Amino acid sequence: MNFRAAVTRGFLLAITALLTSCLDVREEYWIEAGGGGRADMSYTVSSMAAWKLGGEPGVRSMIDGFLADTPAITSSSYEITTEDKRMRVRLKLGFASARDLETVLSGASLKHFPSAASYLLGSVRMNIHGTTVDFNREIFPAKALPTTSAILPDSGFAGHRLLYIMHLPSPATESNATLLSDGGRTLVWDIPLERAFKSSVVTRFKTRVPVPWVMALTGGLALVAVGGLAFFVVRKVRRRRLSTQS
C-alpha cells in the first residue's frame, strides 16, 4: 500500500468512525389490550452525522414532515439534545391500532428521512390468524452504513447497541427475543452494534390477543356492525310480510 492510499484509508476510517461509532438505538413499545399503544424511540448519533443532515434544524424539519404525513400517529412529541459531540433524538408516539406500526415504521412518509433511516427502521409485517398475531420486523444496519463494517475496527463498535423492547397485553407464544420478563409479556432484543452490522436484525413474535383487538385490526368491528344492521333489516321485512299475509 503506497503512502497516498494509506492516507486515504486513514481519512475514510476516521470519518466513518466519527459518523458511526456513537450509534445507539433504543425503542420501546406498549401494546394495549384494546389494540392501541404508544412508543418511546431514542436514537443517538455523532454530531458530525447530524451535521450532514443539516444539524438540529434539518433533523427537526425531517421529523416534522414525517409526523405531518403519518395520520396513523394519534399523538406525538420529540426532543433533541446535544452533549459530548453526540446528538440524541427522542420521539414519543401514540397510535390507535397495533396494525399502524407497519405504517409508522415502514410507511411512505419515511421519504422525509434519508435512505439510511429507512434501513434502520426496517420493514414490518403483521399477519393475523384467528386470535394469533404474527409480528416480524427486519432491520438493516449494514445497508444503512455500507462501508462501516469493512473499515471500522472492532473497538469502534464497543459499548454501542440496538435495544428493542415490546410490552404485550398477552404472553408471547413464540419469539426470538434475547430476554423475556413479566410472564412473557415483555420481550427484549439487545443486539451489540458489531453483530448488527454483520447481518440484518430480526425481531419476531407470536401472541394470542383478546378478540376485540383482532376485530379492530381486521376491521371486524365494522363487519359486525354491518351484519347486525342487515339482520335487523331482514327481520323487519320478514315481520312486515307476515303481517301482510295475515
The pLDDT score that the predictor gives to residue 237 is 46
Residues 31 and 138 in one domain: yes
- Assess if residue 216 is contained within a domain: no
Q: Give me the number of domains the chain comprises.
A: 2
Residues 231 and 163 in one domain: no
Residues 124 and 101 in one domain: yes
- Assess if residue 215 is contained within a domain: no
The pLDDT score that the predictor gives to residue 188 is 98
Domain range for 136? 3-209
Question: At residue 234, what are phi and psi to the nearest 5 degrees?
Answer: -60, -45
The pLDDT score that the predictor gives to residue 205 is 96
* DSSP letter for each residue of 199-218: S-EEEEEEEE--HHHHHHHH
- Assess if residue 72 is contained within a domain: yes
- Assess if residue 117 is contained within a domain: yes
The pLDDT score that the predictor gives to residue 194 is 82
Residues 154 and 230 in one domain: no
Residues 140 and 195 in one domain: yes
The residue to which cell 392501541 is assigned: 36
- Assess if residue 214 is contained within a domain: no
**What predicted TM-score, i.e. pTM, was given to this entire model?**
0.76
User: Residues 92, 81: contact at Cβ < 8 Å?
Assistant: no
Distance of CA 192 to the CA centre of its chain: 18
Residues 173 and 225 in one domain: no
Residues 100 and 186 in one domain: yes
Residues in the chain where the model's pLDDT stays below 50: 3, 6-21, 149, 151, 153, 220-235, 237
Helices (H) and strands (E) in the chain, counts: 10, 11
- Look up residue 147 and give its DSSP letter: T
Residues 245 and 147 in one domain: no
Residues 117 and 63 in one domain: yes
The pLDDT score that the predictor gives to residue 147 is 54
Residues 128 and 245 in one domain: no
Residues 64 and 138 in one domain: yes
Q: What is the pLDDT of residues 192-235, one digit of tens each?
A: 988 888 888 999 999 987 655 555 555 544 434 444 444 344 44
The pLDDT score that the predictor gives to residue 7 is 39
